[in-house]
Amino acid sequence: MAKLYVFNPEHDLALAANLSNFTAPHAGRKLRYDLGYIPALWAGDEDYILVDDVEKAVRQYGRLRAKVGGTPKKFVDKSQLCSLYINKVEPWGWDLALRAFLLRYGVEAVPTEDEIAEIRELSHRMQAVELLSHLQMPGTIGTSCCVTTIAGVKQQLEQHGHIVVKAPWSSSGRGVRFMTGSIDDYQERWIKNIVEKQGAVVVEPYYHKVKDFGMEFESDGEGCVKYLGLSLFLTKNGAYTGNLITKEDEKQEMISRYIPIDLLMVVKEKVCHCLGENFKGKYQGPFGVDMMIVSTEDKDGFLLHPCVEINLRRTMGHVALAIPPFADGFTRVMHIELTDKYRMSVRKR
């Protein structure tokens, strides 16, 4: 009996759609096809990694192993699934579409529809709103709320002047709108559409971001949450482009240029406690909490926004943590680039 690992990066969109017969957009399918091999970084030698093209995955993982080390892994395609003895599936994230796909190809070790409904509820951005309320302390900043009407959004805009409006379920960069001054007709239609389909929008003030980062965790589903490490990631025009690969103490030193590390450690412990209780009996698996450093209003200091998002799935930060720091001491960057295809590279900073 072995585990099956699945890279399904379209998960956030599938979760929002909440359909068993969901078809991912072209970009999501391409990302899965090009980078489906990456679970090999954390899979066991006797486990399986589901990919679209086995020969391609072997080549790509071989090139990555040449740089970061590792052992050979077992890649399979969907036609082989019915002949394998699989006792557990560990995907990027669970949704109805993945469940239906695996059942269709003979894999029975999947959650029930009710269990996936629970995961979907825990993935609602309201969870981040609630966690943020528990992380208020000196040195932090951040407030957010769920709103169900246009009037409510306008009230928040009038109060703050510049706001960020988010769909409860959406993928990175999608389902997020920045609004300032007043709401135009296009923005109003977008808000009404999200409220109609998802019940609400999440509204928060716009903050002057200085640095993105995150913390990566794993829940055992029994009330214990384990901290795995910091994720210092890079973005371009709001889109993820890569992660730093270096020792934990060096990542902490980078963050300490802005805020005290003691504050970061207190936040870490509070996240473990709060989400350990929330996820007990409901979610077992990896997740991440995105955070950011923001400048103070007088631009003379920095504050920590301790919960921008909760990603109830594996993240690229987990991928970076699966690549050990290099013995030569140089910081590397794990890049995800799109030319004719998605490529993952690891090179000196």
**What domains sit in the chain, N to C, each tagged with a CATH number?**
2-121 (no CATH), 143-205 (3.30.1490.20), 207-348 (3.30.470)
Q: Which residues of the chain have pLDDT under 50?
A: none
Read off φ and ψ for residue 117, nearest 5 degrees: -60, -35
For the stretch 199-258, pLDDT in tens is 999 999 999 999 999 999 999 999 999 999 999 988 877 778 899 999 999 999 999 999
CB atoms within 10 A of CB 162: 13
CA distance 327 to 200: 49
CA distance 346 to 69: 12
pLDDT of residue 173: 62
CA distance 333 to 330: 10
pTM above 0.75, yes or no: yes
Instruction: Give the length of the chain.
Output: 349
SS3 labels along the chain: CEEEEECCCCHHHHHHHCCCCCCCCHHHHHHHHHHCCHHHHCCCCCCEEECCCHHHHHHHHHHHHHHHCCCCCEEECHHHHHHCCEEEEEECCCCHHHHHHHHHCCCCCCCCHHHHHHHHHHCCCHHHHHHHHHCCCCCECCCCEEECCHHHHHHHHHHHCEEEEECCCCCCCCCEEEEECCCCHHHHHHHHHHHHHHCCEEEEECCCEEEEEEEEEEECCCCCEEEEEEECEEEECCEEEEEEECCHHHHHHHHHCCCCHHHHHHHHHHHHHHHHHHHCCCCCEEEEEEEEEEECCCCCCEEEEEEEEEECCCCHHHHHHCCCCCCCCCCEEEEEEECCCEEEEEEEC
